[in-house]
Amino acid sequence: MTAMSDAMPTDDSHDPALTSWVASANAPHTDFPLQNLPYGRFRRRGSDEAWRVGVAIGDQVLDLKLALAQCPWEPEVAALLQPLAAGDLGGLMARGKGARRTLRAAVSTALREHSEQTPFLELCLVPQREIELALPCRIGEYTDFYTGIHHATNVGRQFRPDNPLLPNYKWVPIGYHGRVSSIGVSGQGVRRPRGQLMLPDARAPVFEACRRLDYELELGVLVGAGNPDGTPLTMAQAEDDWFGLVLLNDWSARDIQAWEYQPLGPFLAKNFGTTISPWVVTQEALAPFRRPFAHPADDPQPLPYLDAPANRERGAIDIALEVWLHSEQMRANGLPPHRLSQSNFADAYWTVAQLLAHHSCNGCNLGTADLLGTGTQSGPQPGQGGSMLELSLGGKQPITLPGGETRAFLADGDTVILRAHCARDGARRIGFGECAGTVLPARPA
């Protein structure tokens, strides 16, 4: 059985009693307290300044380009800030676990109340309301997995009531290769796609706009250094290597998917749009929220290359997930977004380390900033589906929204908002911000 490292330790940067000289970071329900410190790539709205990496702290962003120029740092820390000042988060990601932890410790210390660096860094804050955000890094490759067993069961039951899960599901992390070029950041518009559809009782397909547009509630894993020589990652190496998580909406055209997916799986039904949140919550920030992981005793147990004592002890991550919908009519009538569902990433059937270990087990080269989608994260209870396909039972039971509208699938003008946070006794609540996207009408034929 492969040993796993002592990854995910907590340290003084996780102390829930820590406060920051940035007052908004001390608010009890902020997503970005001192204990989080996620990275994002931004510039001031309306400016033509170069993109740079910043750290979200309360309702502010610490501009790391200015921070490097104006604040004294230890030489090792200054070297780690160099690529971030130039807008290259991948330059830190490629440096591995030690670099991540060194920089987190330095930034945490600098932002704490009574820090000697306060007079310098006060001049390096930018209100989040005054910025625009880009993709947090240049994404290399994109693979979407299928780790949500409740989603797989719910969807499978619609097509195979007596055998919803295929025989390989509990043995192997299922995934498919996606398309990087159509990944965008929160706030984007997503155009309703056109494609081939086979309508009920038809004898030939038609080419028209998707009628069953859907979202999927996922997390995205960003790879650190990867395995550029093609050597499979052990579980220990896989755990050390993932950099952090973002929210991910895998927009899905269900009617196009139903016609095209056999025998090779998703294609045009998935690659027209993927939205991720702009702030990368690092592995270190998530350390207090790790949980024991195990497959049910009656299920097949992971093969040795996917197993390790530390993965069983702390492989799962307790992340509360939510989906909200805000229709065009709701916005016009002044109604707030409506929550469609809740679930938790702790229910995933495979851990983050298992995804990296499996992806690389055949020698596949994972690179810095490769993105791995987790698959749709649904909960075990009715109403916890991570997609409209589940919540509406394939369109058979439309959902009623505030104001009286109904939805079986998404309508033009609908904004889908994903949110997530981690909370437990003895730890500071941290969040992911939002991953939002609005459905735009299909382009004219």
> What are the pLDDT digits (tens) for 425-442?
999 999 999 999 999 999
330 HSE (CA, 13 A, CB side): 23
Q: Where in the chain is the domain with CATH 2.30.30.230?
A: 12-134
354-375 pLDDT, tens digit each: 999 999 999 999 999 999 999 9
| Nearest CA-CA partner of 433 in 22, 29, 26, 6 | 29
Handedness of CA 154, 349, 306, 136 (dihedral sign): positive
> Percentage of residues in the chain with pLDDT exceeding 70?
98
304-315 pLDDT, tens digit each: 999 999 999 999
In whole numbers, what is the pLDDT of the chain averaged over residues?
A: 95
19-66 pLDDT, tens digit each: 999 999 999 999 999 999 999 999 999 999 999 999 999 999 999 999
Reply yes or no on whether 421 is catalytic. Answer: no
Active-site position among 14, 29, 150, 151: 151
Both structure tokens of 419: 């949110």
Which CATH code is given to the segment(s) 142-440?
Answer: 3.90.850.10
Q: Residue 215 and residue 151: Cα distance in Å, rounded?
A: 13
50 touches 43 (CB < 8 A)? yes
User: Is residue 70 predicted with pLDDT exceeding 70?
Assistant: yes
Q: Given pLDDT bands bounded at 50, 70 and 90, which one contains residue 8?
A: low
401 touches 408 (CB < 8 A)? no
Domain 12-134: CATH superfamily is Fumarylacetoacetase, N-terminal domain (2.30.30.230)
Average pLDDT over residues 313-326: 98
Q: Where in the chain is the domain with CATH 3.90.850.10?
A: 142-440
Handedness of CA 170, 172, 173, 178 (dihedral sign): negative
131-182 pLDDT, tens digit each: 999 999 999 999 999 999 999 999 888 878 888 998 899 999 999 999 999 9
For residue 171, CA distances in Å to 232, 303, 350, 434, 442 come to 18, 8, 10, 33, 39
Indicate the DSSP class of residue 20.
B
